[in-house]
């Protein structure tokens, strides 16, 4: 898995004229301008693929999305995830939960001669950065990610519970080890779910005649 290849591949797509406009619209615009085509000259420049960063990890990782941090010159963020394990992630069998965790590679000086990368993982990435597929930057330090899954909790929970997540790229916040009193472990979540279920059952028992 080569993160630089992915970033360069996106650059190749840009050079080839990737756009949200349809091909027909481009053709009509070219015809209406007398064939000059403006920026759409039809010339494709060659691109050179450069290896920017290769992460070192205990398991193979797949790069799914990249984005430059507009607040830090030359800083590239890449979202990484493991390949599907085929194992369950349920309240009774969590052998596959670890494979759902996504991480971010933060690459400094990605456009320079000596890029440097570090892997950062949120304390509850198995929930908030589960199998990430996309990243997009907002204003200032804020960026968002979106994962791939029916739920970001245990997979035997019937209710769908997944969606985009907002993050702070502040290095004193993102990837920092959470305080001990924060419920970030799967065991704490399981205990919270069991408590909630018991409370609901007790409430229903009081309401029933």
pLDDT of residue 180: 65
CA gap 6, 13 in Å, rounded: 11
Please list the residues that pair with 117 across neighbouring strands: 107
pLDDT of residue 10: 39
pLDDT of residue 74: 95
The mean pLDDT value for 153-178 works out to 91
DSSP state of 150: S
Which residue pairs from 49-52 have beta carbons closer than 8 angstroms and sit at least 24 positions apart in sequence? 49/4, 49/5, 49/8, 49/9, 49/12, 50/4, 50/8, 51/2, 51/4, 51/5, 52/3, 52/4, 52/7, 52/8, 52/76, 52/107, 52/110, 52/115
Domain ranges of the chain: 1-51, 53-180
pLDDT of residue 50: 84
CA gap 79, 143 in Å, rounded: 12
For the segment 33-52, what is each residue's pLDDT rounded down to a tens digit? 454 455 566 888 898 888 89
Find which of 152-161, 162-171, 182-191, 200-209 is predicted with most confidence, using mean pLDDT.
162-171
DSSP H helical segments within the chain, as ranges?
Answer: 3-15, 23-32, 125-128, 186-207
Q: Tell me the percentage of the chain whose pLDDT exceeds 70.
A: 66
Does the pTM of the predicted model rise above 0.75? no
Task: Tell me how far CA of residue 110 lies from CA of 8, 65, 68, 160, in angstroms.
Answer: 11, 15, 9, 37
Q: Tokens representing 30?
A: 């070219």
pLDDT of residue 173: 93
pLDDT at 197 over 60: no
Residue 178's pLDDT band, with cuts at 50, 70 and 90, is confident
């Amino acid at each position: 898995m080569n993160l630089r290849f992915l970033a360069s591949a996106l650059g190749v797509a840009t050079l080839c004229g990737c756009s949200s406009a349809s091909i027909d619209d481009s053709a009509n615009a070219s015809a209406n301008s007398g064939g000059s085509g403006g920026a759409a000259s039809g010339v494709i420049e060659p691109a050179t693929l450069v290896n920017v960063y290769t992460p070192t990890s205990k398991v193979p990782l797949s790069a799914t999305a990249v984005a430059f941090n507009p607040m830090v010159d030359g800083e590239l963020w890449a979202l990484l995830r493991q390949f599907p394990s085929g194992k369950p992630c349920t309240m009774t069998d969590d052998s596959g939960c670890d494979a759902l965790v996504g991480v971010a590679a933060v690459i400094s000086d990605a456009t320079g001669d000596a890029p440097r990368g570090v892997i950062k993982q949120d304390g509850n990435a198995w929930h908030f950065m589960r199998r990430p597929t996309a990243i997009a930057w907002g204003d200032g330090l804020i960026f968002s990610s979106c994962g791939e899954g029916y739920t970001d909790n245990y997979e035997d929970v019937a209710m769908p519970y997944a969606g985009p997540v907002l993050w702070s790229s502040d290095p004193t916040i993102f990837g920092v080890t959470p305080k001990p009193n924060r419920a970030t472990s799967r065991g704490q979540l399981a205990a919270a779910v069991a408590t909630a279920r018991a409370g609901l059952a007790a409430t229903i028992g009081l309401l029933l005649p």
